Amino acid sequence: MTARCPRVRVAVIGGGQSSEHEVSLASAASVADALDPAAYDVVRLTIDPAGTWLPAGLPGAIGVLTECDVAIPVLHGPRGEDGTVAALCELAGVPYVGSGVGAGALAMDKWATKLVARGLGIAVAADELLTRTTAATYQFTGPVVVKPVAAGSSHGVTLVRCAEQLPEALGAAFALDDRVLVEEVVVGREVDVAVLGRPDGSRVVAPALEIVVDGIFDTGAKYDGTADFRIPAVLSDAERTGLESAAVAVYDALGCAGVARVDFFLTDAGPVLNEVNTMPGFTEQSQVPKMFAAAGTSYAALLDLLVRDALVVSA
């Protein structure tokens, strides 16, 4: 009789202190439920909005982590996706799924990400970086998008069409961050590209997804079921090649690992980078799992691949 291999002990971490707390809880619950119980022993850890690790506080959570073979930090936004929890895992000596400290911090910072893209020759929207001190000097000249530098799920993002709307938009953005980007409106199709880095250095790009929505893809449109996701996006060969090349270039330049979603506006002049998500929404109905499902990789299979790759990298 063949002995069964021991199950891999996996810590799935959800919640967090960002405005995406509830989204993270949904992603983490979905991930934990989808991991094959025959192969994985799942331990669920939750960070509440105040930053308390449940059920036993941070010292207890570190103890649990060190008893696990691998961690999946399913955290979105600051104090999670920005490299902070990756740093905790590294200090605890626990392998983890996803990008490391540097990549998480860089990609969470939309302004820094755009600097990287500019260095690669990838187009980005013209912008101005504002702080609470400099915001009063900003001169409105036309439609702009106002957004926090480090936030996700489009929280604090506003399309401003006239100067009278600007103070409220800035207030919403500054409520989430001390730095705010004011970007020129880019006219183009919203197309997302998912890139998966493998331990051998290869890159797997899932079929692109187009978001068809009236106006901007804001928090409401992301979660109220009104967004129209089209997978695969209808693209010419040249458009597909341009998007995929730009996505992989940004993924590599930021130093990403695991899977990341790279969001673009596809304009008549080519791709314009919007942002990079190193831990995008990860329920089975989220964009990245849907993109890989379109290529024949199921949600459970994608999770298995990510965990196994993390263990290979750490070996």
Which residues does the annotation mark as catalytic? 20, 153, 223, 261, 263, 275, 277, 281
Residue (of 248, 314, 255) closest to 101 by Cα position: 255
- DSSP E strands in the chain: the ranges are 8-15, 40-47, 53-54, 70-73, 123-124, 127-131, 144-148, 158-160, 179-184, 189-197, 203-205, 209-212, 228-230, 259-267, 270-277
Say which amino acid occupies 277.
Answer: N
3-state helix/strand/coil string of 71-114: EEECCCCCCCCCCHHHHHHHHHCCCECCCCHHHHHHHHCHHHHH
Phi-psi region of 112 (alpha: psi -120 to 50; beta: other; left: phi over 0): alpha
